[in-house]
Amino acid sequence: MSEITFDQIKDFQAQLAKQPAAGATARAVQNVGPQAASREPIDGEDMKPVFSLDLDTGTVANQKKSGRCWLFATLNTVRHGIADEFGIKDFEFSQNYNAFFDRLEKANLFYENILATADKPLDAREVADYLSGPDQDGGHYDQAEALIEKYGLVPKSIMPETYNSEKTVELNSVLNEKLRKDAKVLRELKQANAGDDAIAAKKREFLSVVYRILAYTFGNPPTQFDFEYRDDKKQYHRDTNLTPQSFFKKYVKWHFDDYVVVASDPEPNKKYHQLYTIASANTVVGGHPLTILNLPPDQLKKLALTQLQAGEAVWFGNDVLADMDRKSGTLKGGLYNYSDLFDLDLHFDKTDRIVTTEAEMSHAMTLTGADVVDGEVTKWKVENSWGKDNGHDGYFVADASWFDQYVYEVVVRKDLLDPADQAALKATPINVPVWDFLN
């Protein structure tokens, strides 16, 4: 192992002195930071929020500083049907209701995973991964589906966001500290062959405390309620004695079984036209499992556009942290030209970014429009969940290059797939570990 020498430092300084405009570059970076100093123009015609295909949608939601984008994007996609059928354009579901049960189910899954790996050392990769984040607020479309199918939905007016989602980090800290402590107890019981009944009783005791923490934080979820609203024509409606499950069945026309998550993961260990799952990340034990069909990247664009043309929004997973200007709502491939700024080659293709962990699925949003020129999409309209003060009243514009580089999965109707890919959905999925990129 070689050290850095002072002769090397002297050589580095000499090379820096030879850089053209080194002083001007340093001043720019130090005054405004690398992003602002390297940003390409964002006000051109190519990024104007005008689209040839534009679904009629309402006011955007606001997840604030929580990591619930996956849940917001799912509820945004589902709520469009209520707007169309019942005439409630700006209707919003209670994110708190589903977030409550998401955290409870994640605690249960964590306990199950800890018990299943009790014979492994704490530094085994699988166990360490479970312990690194026992109960966070991130997730997947399929996890939202499993929650909704089990617990139903309620209007935001019934269970408002009394819990400030900006305090999510504080809740994460409390839950994770408790669950890690619980894990020690459950591992010891399992290793001591305490018996299934004793272990189940202890797990139930732990879950009861988790429920109490969540009730203090989110509020106790309703089991029955009346739904009152005025539609877009100002007509009054009142529906009584609903449960979250009956409300979901009556008002939501989105049939989850009709849709599938389609990813494009080019890693060498992945096959296209192959079904994958992540069993250890199936949040709702016994519920809908994570099911991901891996297809070539051109299929993601084709399927997303076809679904939009059929009048349906598209949930999609992406890396919003890359080439994004939050305030203007710009998602543009190559937006930050660090290569020119620092005089180096930072080109990294999608496969290399994934296998080296440079790439990540950091966000979920909804496609609600596209600009199609000569059959090709030049830009996409994106419904975000960061409130109306970002972008164009909360909507972002993504160019074709950004989609190609940073969109990793979309949720589309199964009947839009080619017959061979529809048949692939019937195959037994390949299970990948919890640390896989698809998670």
Averaged pLDDT for residues 232-260: 93
Q: Which of 69, 76, 80, 172 is catalytic?
A: 69
Q: Is residue 209 part of a domain?
A: yes
Question: Which are the contacts of 292, defined by CB distance < 8 A and separation ≥ 6?
Answer: 261, 262, 263, 275, 276, 277, 278, 409, 429, 438
Is 288 an annotated catalytic residue? no
Paired tokens of 293: 């069909």
Q: In this predicted model, what pLDDT tens digit does every residue of 63-78 receive, in sequence order? A: 887 888 999 899 988 8
Confidence of residue 163 (pLDDT cuts 50, 70, 90): low
**pLDDT in the model for residue 164:** 61
Q: Is it the case that residue 419 has pLDDT exceeding 90?
A: yes
Question: Which are the contacts of 7, defined by CB distance < 8 A and separation ≥ 6?
Answer: none
The DSSP bridge pattern shows strands 330-331 and 395-399 to be parallel
Q: What is the dihedral of CA 107, 110, 115, 116, to 10 degrees?
A: 140
Q: Is it the case that residue 429 has pLDDT exceeding 80?
A: yes
The DSSP bridge pattern shows strands 292-294 and 259-263 to be parallel
Q: Is residue 437 part of a domain?
A: no
Q: Is residue 14 part of a domain?
A: no
**pLDDT in the model for residue 46:** 81
What is the model's pTM?
0.92
Q: Is residue 337 part of a domain?
A: yes
**pLDDT in the model for residue 374:** 92
Q: Is it the case that residue 81 has pLDDT exceeding 80?
A: no
Q: Is it the case that residue 6 has pLDDT exceeding 90?
A: yes
Q: Is it the case that residue 205 has pLDDT exceeding 90?
A: yes
Structural domain that includes position 411: 47-431
**pLDDT in the model for residue 30:** 94
Q: What is the C-alpha to C-alpha distance for residues 186 and 190, in angstroms, rounded to an integer?
A: 6
Q: Is residue 436 part of a domain?
A: no
Q: Is residue 30 part of a domain?
A: no
**pLDDT in the model for residue 247:** 95
Q: In this predicted model, what pLDDT tens digit does every residue of 15-40 receive, in sequence order? A: 999 998 888 898 989 999 999 888 98
Domain count, the chain: 1
Q: Which of 96, 108, 113, 384 is catalytic?
A: 384
Q: Is residue 415 part of a domain?
A: yes
Question: Which are the contacts of 162, defined by CB distance < 8 A and separation ≥ 6?
Answer: 96, 218, 219
Q: Is it the case that residue 44 has pLDDT exceeding 80?
A: no
Strand, helix or coil at 165?
A: helix
Q: Which of 98, 318, 363, 390 is catalytic?
A: 363
**pLDDT in the model for residue 16:** 92
Q: Is residue 276 part of a domain?
A: yes
Is 363 an annotated catalytic residue? yes
Strand, helix or coil at 192?
A: coil
Paired tokens of 270: 């992945």
Residue pointed to by tokens 């009861």: 208
Q: Where are the alpha helices (DSSP H) in 87-167?
A: 95-116, 125-132, 141-151
Q: What is the C-alpha to C-alpha distance for residues 81 and 313, in angstroms, rounded to an integer?
A: 10
When mean pLDDT is compared across 159-163, 287-291, 295-299, 313-317, the lowest value belongs to 159-163
Averaged pLDDT for residues 295-323: 95
**pLDDT in the model for residue 165:** 63
Q: What's 68's domain CATH number?
A: 3.90.70.10
Question: Which are the contacts of 104, defined by CB distance < 8 A and separation ≥ 6?
Answer: 207, 210, 211, 214
